């Protein structure tokens, strides 16, 4: 369902107001006073987060973001605060950034925090948006969409609940028994809650869901408010299959491509020590070694899992790369847009229908006809298609280097080392990585296989149907400022000029082990380029082929394989994924195929969050969709299609 932003409106007394619900966003006696009295004090904060490694607040309505700003400020002001604060919230009708800027001016005491929040404000499309604030110590996970649906997709353990929707009379869905039972499912054993509503149906609904509730003095003109705590008898806290105790906080990662280095950065950002091992002499020299790659989503009419994952991955990936750049780590990239052209008139119509149905923000995606597409490309094209103004290209090796440079005190790199075997260290309850002569390369309680197609060499990963997909790209000489100045896609892709070259490709050949460049593949890339930009390849016909060959780990369903590695076995198709046994402390990050840049940052954040038992940045069904154990429950689809 498209996200419809909130309208900026005010009640006669100046309180922010929603005509859609006929209700105000906070008490007319003062939103900040309400935030402190009802939600912070009502959940015994800041006392309850003191001495904790991390603490999670779950809110049912983000609104103006005032409760979040008040909580963030209280956390900053508390010298005994927890190390990391997680704030998770839902919003069906979020404000646009420019409206938040105006609204937040009412609370000058939050000026610096509000400016940081506004700067990180996400693109208003459905799904979860993970925002890292305060140098990564505060994380806002904002779910855009219907809370009654999103709460069922959250994967977290909440320590405190802020129940702050519009009134039960105006917005009954946000106070329904179904919602209260979802809150109970997400509650930690000692969770508390607070709300300004003392309506009888609210009290009874919370009691039936397992909360003990009691009235307390309210704020301002409201005589009473409601406090609650969770009994925890009927809803055990969710546990992740294969999780390792987070207190060890030392990981061994095999593979220094975008998958492995992204995970190393996300773990090191949480204080983990990471040993990363690769046979190459440096990072990003395998499948992640191309001169330029594409970072953009793949929409669909039904907004399927591939579409949701590529949308979330692209948006998080762009934020991650921008954050590295802001720290002076200099990944090579440019979000100057991606133009995806239709193959024919029929596909153009489908592409237009996707935009018409989902109504995305024009800054994220819009449909353009052939004339406008030609102007964007700077070259005459014969078809229209999707224009992603904020997507772009990335140079993968530079991203790998930036990831490792982000936390040099926590990441130890072992290059030019050939690892051949993993060994379970039962005495130390961890894993040892060994070389061909049996020598120890590194050991850690947690091991992650992110070694591309090399993952198939390890028996522990035998259950994964990883396919090697050979891809050859062509490198074409290009002058600065020459067209196209944006990435153009249609069956293949071509990048803008980067350091005197542009990248065109790529071929996709399964179980093809040829490492040398092939003229036939170069011609195939030129044919794809000619179909995109008619007449463009004339200067390159007959010229010597220059390019690169890489081998990408692909999966049969084209989705990543990320999570705890399953133990071998035969399971009924109806077996819940959580009930499949796993190798203790052993994980995989694989199956990215041709979308390594799209998947890498978000999958790394998701696995790091799982290892730390933090709120997940992905909906439950999407995390299950990338679980490596899924292939034990269903027949494989063959053959693998070109991406």
CATH 3.30.1120.10 fits 332-390+472-553, yes or no: no
Burial code (b: 16+ CB inside 10 Å, e: under 16) for 159-182 equals bbbbbbbbbbeebeebbbeebbbb
- What pLDDT shows up at residue 628? 96
Q: Minimal CA–CA distance to 366: which of 337, 346, 344?
A: 337
- What pLDDT shows up at residue 545? 78
- What pLDDT shows up at residue 236? 38
Q: Does residue 128 carry a pLDDT above 50?
A: yes
CATH second-level architecture of 247-331+391-466+555-570+581-643?
3-Layer(bba) Sandwich (3.50)
Rounded CA separation 66/321 (Å): 28
Rounded CA separation 501/482 (Å): 11
Work out the average pLDDT over 569-581.
90
Q: Where are the domains of the chain?
A: 9-230, 247-331+391-466+555-570+581-643, 332-390+472-553
Quick one: 576 exposed, middle or buried, by C-beta within 10 A (0-12, 13-18, 19+)? Answer: exposed
Work out the average pLDDT over 556-574.
92
Quick one: 55 exposed, middle or buried, by C-beta within 10 A (0-12, 13-18, 19+)? Answer: buried
Digit-coded pLDDT (tens) for 333-344: 999 999 999 999
Work out the average pLDDT over 438-466.
94
Could you please report the per-residue DSSP string of 378-444? TS--S--EEEETT-EEE-HHHHHHHHHHT-TTTEEEE-S--EEEEEEETTTTEEEEEETTS-EEEEE
Look up tokens 């693998």; give the residue. 640
Instruction: Decide the pairing of beta strands 493-494 and 487-489.
Output: antiparallel
- What pLDDT shows up at residue 64? 96
- What pLDDT shows up at residue 234? 39
Rounded CA separation 282/450 (Å): 15
Q: Minimal CA–CA distance to 444: which of 587, 567, 568, 566?
A: 587
- What pLDDT shows up at residue 238? 38
Ramachandran sector of residue 500 (left: φ over 0; alpha: ψ -120 to 50; beta: rest): left
Work out the average pLDDT over 237-245.
39
The half-sphere exposure of 427 on its side-chain side, counting CA atoms within 13 A, is: 2
Say whether 235 sits in a helix, a strand or coil.
Answer: coil
Say whether 528 sits in a helix, a strand or coil.
Answer: helix
Six-digit token string for 527: 């044919």
Q: What does R_g of the chain's alpha carbons equal in angstroms?
A: 26
Work out the average pLDDT over 303-322.
98
Backbone angles phi, psi at 349, to 5 degrees: -65, -40
- What pLDDT shows up at residue 641? 54
- What pLDDT shows up at residue 239? 39
Work out the average pLDDT over 112-123.
98
Say whether 140 sits in a helix, a strand or coil.
Answer: strand
Q: How much helix, strand and coil, in percent to the nearest 5, is found in the chain? A: 30, 25, 45
Rounded CA separation 86/57 (Å): 6
Ramachandran sector of residue 303 (left: φ over 0; alpha: ψ -120 to 50; beta: rest): left
Six-digit token string for 341: 């052209």
Rounded CA separation 81/255 (Å): 36
- What pLDDT shows up at residue 635? 62
Q: Does residue 222 carry a pLDDT above 90?
A: no
Q: Minimal CA–CA distance to 590: which of 253, 109, 335, 86?
A: 253
Work out the average pLDDT over 460-467.
92
* Average pLDDT of the chain, as a whole number: 93
Q: Does residue 247 carry a pLDDT above 70?
A: no
Classified by CATH at the fold level, domain 9-230 comes out as: Rossmann fold (3.40.50)
Say whether 502 sits in a helix, a strand or coil.
Answer: strand
Rounded CA separation 473/396 (Å): 14
CA 460 to chain CA centroid, Å, is 27
pLDDT interval class at 417 (50, 70, 90):
very high
Quick one: 12 exposed, middle or buried, by C-beta within 10 A (0-12, 13-18, 19+)? Answer: exposed
The pTM (predicted TM-score) of the whole model is 0.95
Rounded CA separation 242/421 (Å): 21
Least confident piece of the model among 172-186, 421-435, 549-563, 601-615: 421-435
| Cα distances (angstroms) measured from residue 596 to each of 207, 208, 259, 450 | 47, 46, 7, 12
Q: Does residue 487 carry a pLDDT above 70?
A: yes
Q: Does residue 211 carry a pLDDT above 60?
A: yes
Six-digit token string for 50: 């003191």
Least confident piece of the model among 424-428, 437-441, 547-551, 585-589: 424-428
Rounded CA separation 325/402 (Å): 9
Q: Does residue 377 carry a pLDDT above 90?
A: yes
Work out the average pLDDT over 551-578.
92
* Helix (H) or strand (E) segment spanning residue 89: strand 84-91
Ramachandran sector of residue 243 (left: φ over 0; alpha: ψ -120 to 50; beta: rest): beta
Q: Does residue 535 carry a pLDDT above 60?
A: yes
- What pLDDT shows up at residue 511? 85
pLDDT interval class at 246 (50, 70, 90):
very low
Could you please report the per-residue DSSP string of 32-83? HHHIIIIIIGGGTTTGGGTT-SEEEEEES--TTSHHHHHHHHHHHT-TT--S
Q: Where are the alpha helices (DSSP H) in 329-369?
A: 345-358
Six-digit token string for 392: 């772009």
């Amino acid at each position: 369902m498209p996200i419809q932003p909130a309208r900026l409106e005010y009640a006669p007394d100046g309180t922010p107001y929603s005509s859609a619900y006929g209700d105000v966003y906070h008490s007319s006696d003062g939103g900040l006073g309400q935030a402190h009295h009802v939600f912070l004090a009502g959940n015994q904060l800041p006392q309850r987060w003191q001495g904790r490694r991390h603490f999670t607040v779950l809110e049912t309505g983000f609104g103006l973001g005032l409760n979040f700003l008040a909580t963030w400020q209280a956390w900053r002001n508390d010298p005994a605060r927890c190390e990391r604060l997680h704030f998770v919230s839902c919003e069906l009708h979020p404000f646009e950034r420019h409206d938040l800027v105006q609204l937040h001016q009412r609370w000058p005491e939050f000026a610096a925090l509000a400016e940081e929040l506004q700067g990180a404000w996400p693109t208003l499309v459905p799904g979860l948006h993970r925002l890292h604030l305060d140098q990564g110590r505060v994380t806002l996970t904002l779910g855009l969409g219907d809370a009654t649906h999103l709460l069922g997709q959250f994967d977290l353990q909440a320590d405190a609940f802020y129940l702050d929707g519009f009134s039960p009379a105006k917005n009954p869905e946000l106070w329904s028994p179904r919602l209260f039972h979802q809150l109970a499912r997400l509650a930690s054993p000692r969770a508390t809650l607070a709300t300004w509503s003392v309506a009888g149906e609210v009290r009874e609904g919370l009691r039936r869901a397992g909360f003990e509730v009691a009235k307390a003095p309210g704020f301002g003109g409201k005589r009473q408010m409601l406090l609650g705590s969770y009994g925890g008898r009927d809803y055990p806290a969710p546990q992740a299959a294969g999780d390792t105790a987070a207190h060890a906080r030392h990981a061994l990662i095999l593979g220094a491509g975008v998958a492995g280095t992204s995970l190393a950065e996300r773990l090191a950002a949480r204080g983990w020590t990471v040993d990363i091992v690769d046979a190459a002499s440096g990072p990003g020299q395998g499948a992640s070694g191309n001169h330029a790659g594409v970072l953009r989503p793949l929409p669909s009419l039904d907004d399927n899992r591939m579409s949701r994952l590529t949308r979330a991955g692209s948006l998080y990936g762009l934020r991650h790369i921008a954050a590295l750049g802001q720290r002076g780590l200099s990944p090579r990239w440019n979000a100057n847009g991606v133009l995806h052209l239709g193959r024919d008139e029929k596909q153009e119509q489908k592409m237009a229908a996707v935009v018409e149905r989902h109504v995305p923000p024009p800054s994220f995606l819009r449909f353009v006809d052939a004339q406008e597409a030609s102007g964007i490309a700077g070259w005459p094209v014969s078809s229209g298609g999707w224009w992603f103004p904020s997507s772009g290209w990335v140079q993968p090796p530079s991203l790998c280097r930036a990831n490792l440079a982000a936390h040099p005190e926590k990441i130890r790199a072992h290059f030019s080392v050939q690892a051949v075997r993993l060994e379970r260290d039962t005495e130390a309850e961890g894993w040892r990585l060994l070389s061909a002569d049996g020598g120890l390369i590194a050991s850690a309680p947690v091991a992650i296989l992110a070694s591309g197609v090399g993952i198939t060499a390890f028996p522990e990963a035998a259950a994964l149907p990883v396919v090697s997909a050979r891809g050859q790209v062509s490198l074409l000489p290009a002058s600065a400022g020459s067209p196209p100045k944006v990435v153009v896609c249609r069956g293949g892709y071509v990048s803008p000029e980067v350091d005197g070259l542009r990248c065109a490709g790529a071929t996709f050949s399964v179980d093809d082990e040829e490492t040398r460049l092939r003229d036939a593949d170069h011609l195939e890339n030129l044919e794809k380029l000619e179909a995109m930009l008619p007449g463009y390849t004339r200067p390159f016909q007959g010229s010597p082929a220059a390019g690169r060959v890489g081998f990408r780990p692909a999966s049969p369903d084209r989705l990543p394989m990320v999570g705890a590695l399953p133990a071998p076995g035969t399971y009924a198709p109806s077996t819940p994924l959580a009930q499949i046994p796993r190798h203790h402390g052993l994980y995989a990050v694989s199956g990215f195929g041709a979308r390594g840049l799209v998947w890498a940052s978000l999958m790394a954040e998701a696995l790091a969050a799982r290892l730390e038992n933090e709120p997940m940045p992905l909906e439950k069904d999407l995390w299950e969709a990338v679980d490596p154990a899924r292939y034990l429950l269903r027949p494989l689809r063959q053959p693998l299609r070109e991406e």
